Structure 1
Amino acid sequence: MSRPAARARSARPGRTRFVDRAIIGGRRFFVGLSASRVVNRGAGIWLVALLFAATGIYGLERGGHMPAAIETARDVADTGANLVGFRIANVNLNGQSHVSPGEILATAGVKPTSSLPFFDAEGARQRLEQLAWIKRATVQKLYPDRLDIQVVEREGFALWQKDGKINVIARDGTIIAPYSDDPRYIRLPIVVGEGAQSHAVEIVDALSLVPGVRDQVRAAIRVADRRWTLKMGNGIDVRLPERGLDDALQQLAVLDRDKQLLSRDVTIIDLRLPDRVTVRLSDAAYEARQADLKAQAKARKGSST
């Protein structure tokens, strides 16, 4: 075959299109391969960066510097957010009485540089509810610059005395604060002893049903964490049963109403047995009782002769 014929055959349109497609396909393959190399190179850079970041985080964690690093990162983020108008400019507090506004803000983590987008509302709520006085808290972010904090405080329910220390406790037995001369605490009932704080609600509620007895009680003493003994204002001890507390107090109220039992010269009133009431006289009353019995016996003897 002659060279001109070969050139002619190579110049046919179909052949030219095939070569062009081959060339185009070759270029595409090359570009794709180049892109994959670029991607692989970029992935390698990211892997190295992640390795360095992980190493840095591990070093901070091992060295105990992680909290400081997180705080620094948060400060940087707050600065950026503040520049575009998201600084916390208004904090609305509601419901606090015993806890000061400064303590609430400090516990929640609100600072002059805090920004709303990077403020952890849920974390603030959890920290606030760890305060003894605060039973429940709600923290709400209102964009662009307002924070609402509402708290529900616990109420003083009783005074708990143990080992010479007196604390104000809530209804559930939570220690709220040490006792002080605050007028709100003066009339709170007093419970004494190990476990008394956890069971205070049962004796306080039971006494509320017999106000005539309740008003004479100085303190309720928890005995072996099983039952109560009432220390009355005049020094009488009233021993209550482990079970049937309400019935025993109702019986005491009737005896005091009908026979003025709590005004007698006695030291102990024992109500632990359901079918009887045992009373122990004071020493003076016992001696007087013995003298009276002797006088009666002597009188009977004289009359018989």
Structure 2
Amino acid sequence: MPAVVRGGPRKPTRPRAEAPASPNKARPAARKPAPPVGKLHAARGGVGVSPRLALGVAGAALALGLIITLATGHRVERLAQAFGRGVDGEFAGMGFKLKTVKFQGASQMVQADIIRASGLYQDQPTLGLDLEAVRARVEAVGWVKTARIVRLLPDTVMIAVEERPALAVWQNAGRMRVIDSEGRIIREADASRFPGLPLVVGQGADQAAGNILPAVAARPRLRDRLDALVRVDDRRWDLRLKDGSLIQLPAIDEESALIQLDQLDQRQRILDLGFARIDLRDPDMVAVRPRDTTLLGQPVADGA
């Protein structure tokens, strides 16, 4: 007997239509964007570090380094210097070491004194040279007025100088020293090696020589007879000639007195007559003393 289904046959159910989405219904949350690339991250941790914190840490490290430097007596500075010397040594091994010193403006006689004073030595690292210190040592040499030091890599240093020319030999208090036109003593110069330089004698002669010597050098007849210039009371000059004659110049206007002497020599050859003394201190009269008389003075010309 066929089974009877209570309630009768079941009608197929229709699928229920979906209700339209409400405009007020919340949409699904959007996916969060990836963090910006420029953000700091701790190494291997993936933890972000803010720029403010990073700057604070850097500032603290800098302050700590300064405190350590001050508290350790500049040891950090000394370590840096040692590091620099090590670098210089490495470059020296590559050929950056001193082999040649060239000169400009220095005579052969002066070069040895400059080398000794400069402190330069063979195979010295050229990159580590303190050129300003070398210049100061070279300018301390009496022969040198100014100096310029140039590094020519890899292995050469050039020393360019303005040399002080020797003007005279100055004798004072039993000592003989070479001086330049400014009266500066050239310590490295041996006076015995300069027999051709004029001799100036007495206190203050070193400073006054630069004014009188050019005037004497411009008069060959006087210059060739000159033995020494003697400074009297640091005010005026006596010119001592090789024949023993003495020419007395005034304290002021030496040039006018020498012009008077020129005129007398042109007319009377007074430099050849062998007078014991020619007194030019009075601008209105020239007085002479012969060798064979004890007269204090004999006028020979009035103002000329």
TM-score (normalizing by structure 1): 0.71
Q: Pairwise CA RMSD of aligned residues?
A: 3.6
Deviations 1:262-298 (A, max 9, x none): 455754322112111133455x5138x9xxxxxxxxx
CA distance in 2, matches of 1:212, 1:70: 68
TM-score (normalizing by structure 2): 0.71
Match 2:264 to one of 255, 263, 278: 255
The CA deviation at 1:174 is: 2.0
CA contact (8 A) 1:91 1:146 kept: yes
CA distance in 2, matches of 1:222, 1:270: 15
Match 2:48 to one of 23, 31, 39: 31
Task: Count the aligned residue pairs.
Answer: 264
Letter aligned with residue 195 of structure 1: G
> 2:57 aligned with 1:47, yes or no?
no
The CA deviation at 1:72 is: 5.3
Match 2:171 to one of 144, 161, 172: 161
What is the aligned partner in structure 2 of residue 12 from structure 1?
A: 27
Letter aligned with residue 282 of structure 2: L
Q: Percent identity of the aligned residues?
A: 29
Question: Which of the two has greater helix per residue?
Answer: 1
Match 2:293 to one of 285, 295, 305: 285
What is the aligned partner in structure 1 of residue 240 from structure 2?
A: 231
Letter aligned with residue 157 of structure 1: L
Letter aligned with residue 111 of structure 1: Y
> 2:116 aligned with 1:99, yes or no?
no
What is the aligned partner in structure 2 of residue 136 from structure 1?
A: 146
CA distance in 1, matches of 2:103, 2:127: 19
CA distance in 2, matches of 1:74, 1:242: 62
Deviations 1:235-281 (A, max 9, x none): 33322122322221122233344445445575432211211113345
CA distance in 1, matches of 2:107, 2:149: 14
CA distance in 2, matches of 1:31, 1:84: 47
What is the aligned partner in structure 2 of residue 217 from structure 1?
A: 226
Larger Rg: 2
What is the aligned partner in structure 1 of residue 18 from structure 2?
A: none
The CA deviation at 1:90 is: 3.4
- List gaps (5 residues or longer) in structure 1: 1-8, 61-65, 290-305
What is the aligned partner in structure 2 of residue 292 from structure 1?
A: none
CA contact (8 A) 1:241 1:271 kept: yes
Deviations 1:75-129 (A, max 9, x none): 334213324442233333453422344x534433323453232222233223212
Deviations 1:121-168 (A, max 9, x none): 233223212211123333222223332223343322211111111111
The aligned runs of 1:109-128 (5 Å cut-off) are 109-128=119-138
